Structure 1
Amino acid sequence: MERKVIFFEVQGGSDKGADGYRKDTMPMVDALKERGQDAEVIFFDVTKKDEIFNYVKENGIAYISRINPGNLQHEAEYFDMLRDLCAVGVIGMPHPDAMIGYGSKDVLSKLVSTNLVPDDTFAYYTIEAFKAQFPSALAITERVLKQNRGSTGEGIWRVKLVEPLAEGVTEVPLDAAIKCTEAKDNHVEYWKLGEFMSFCEQYITGQNGMLIDMRFLPRITEGEIRLFMLHDKPVHVVHKKPADSEDAFSATLFSGAQYRYDSPEKWEDLVQNFLTQLPQVTNLLGNYNLPLIWTADFMLDTDDAGNDCYILGEMNCSCVGFTSELTLAHQVAEEILSCIGDIGMISA
Structure 2
Amino acid sequence: MGSGASSEMKPGQVSEATMEELTAALEGLSPEERQRIKDALGAVSTADPCPGPVDCSSLSVVVTDYNGLLPQPAEPKFKGALCQIYVRSQPYGGSDKSSNGHRYDSIPFANGMIGAGMSCQLIHYVQEEHDKFFEVCKNFDFIIVRCNPGQIKADGGDQGKFDTSMKLIRKAGIQVWPSPDVMEKMGAKDALCKVATMNIGLEDTLAYYSEEDFATGFKKTMAFQPRVIKQNRGSSGEGIWIIKLKAANYCATFGERSCEGDEVLTLFEANDNHEEEHTVAEFIEFCVSGRTDESGTWTSKGVGKYLEGGKDAGGQIVDQRFCPRIVEGELRYNQIGDAVVGIIHKKPKEGGISAVGGTGSIYTYYEADEPKFASLTENFLKTDLPLIMPALGLAEEPVPLWWTTDFILASPEGTATADEKWIVGEFNCSCVGISKCLAAYCKEDTPNATYDDISAEDKAEANKYGTLMGTKALGIMEASMASKK
- The TM tier, using the shorter chain, reads over 0.9
Deviates more, 1:186-195 or 1:29-38: 29-38
- Aligned residue among 408, 431, 451 for 1:319: 431
- Aligned residue among 182, 200, 204 for 2:307: 204
Alignment of 1:37-76 (within 5 A): 37-58=118-139, 60-73=140-153, 74-76=158-160
Structure 1 unaligned segments of length 5 or more: list them.
none
Shift of 1:37: 2.5
CA distance in 2: counterparts of 1:316 and 1:339, whole angstroms: 20
Task: Indicate the residue corresponding to 1:340 in structure 2.
Answer: 477
Name the TM-score, length of structure 1 as normaliser: 0.93
Is the CA contact (8 Å cut-off) linking 1:293 and 1:320 kept in structure 2? yes
Name the TM-score, length of structure 2 as normaliser: 0.68
Shift of 1:224: 0.6
CA distance in 2: counterparts of 1:71 and 1:218, whole angstroms: 36
Paired residues in the alignment total 345
Alignment of 1:203-282 (within 5 A): 203-206=306-309, 207-245=313-351, 248-266=352-370, 267-275=373-381, 276-282=383-389
Is the CA contact (8 Å cut-off) linking 2:189 and 2:232 kept in structure 1? yes
- Aligned residue among 395, 398, 421 for 1:289: 398
CA distance in 1: counterparts of 2:243 and 2:412, whole angstroms: 23
Distance 1:166 1:79, change over 3 A: closer
Distance 1:26 1:171, change over 3 A: same
Shift of 1:26: 2.0
Q: Secondary structure at the match of 1:302?
A: coil
Report the structure, 1 or 2, having the larger strand content.
Answer: 1
Is the CA contact (8 Å cut-off) linking 2:199 and 2:421 kept in structure 1? no
| Greater relative contact order (Cα < 8 A, sep 6+) | 1
Shift of 1:115: 2.1
Distance 1:262 1:304, change over 3 A: closer
Is the CA contact (8 Å cut-off) linking 1:23 and 1:323 kept in structure 2? no
Q: Does 1:24 align with 2:105?
A: yes
Task: Indicate the residue corresponding to 2:297 in structure 1.
Answer: none
Is the CA contact (8 Å cut-off) linking 1:162 and 1:178 kept in structure 2? yes
**Structure 2 letter corresponding to 1:264:** A
Q: Secondary structure at the match of 2:358?
A: helix
Distance 1:6 1:135, change over 3 A: same
CA distance in 2: counterparts of 1:154 and 1:260, whole angstroms: 23
State the Cα RMSD in Å: 2.0
Shift of 1:167: 6.1
Shift of 1:10: 1.7
Is the CA contact (8 Å cut-off) linking 1:147 and 1:155 kept in structure 2? yes
CA distance in 1: counterparts of 2:250 and 2:472, whole angstroms: 57
Deviates more, 1:8-17 or 1:233-242: 8-17
Shift of 1:223: 1.1
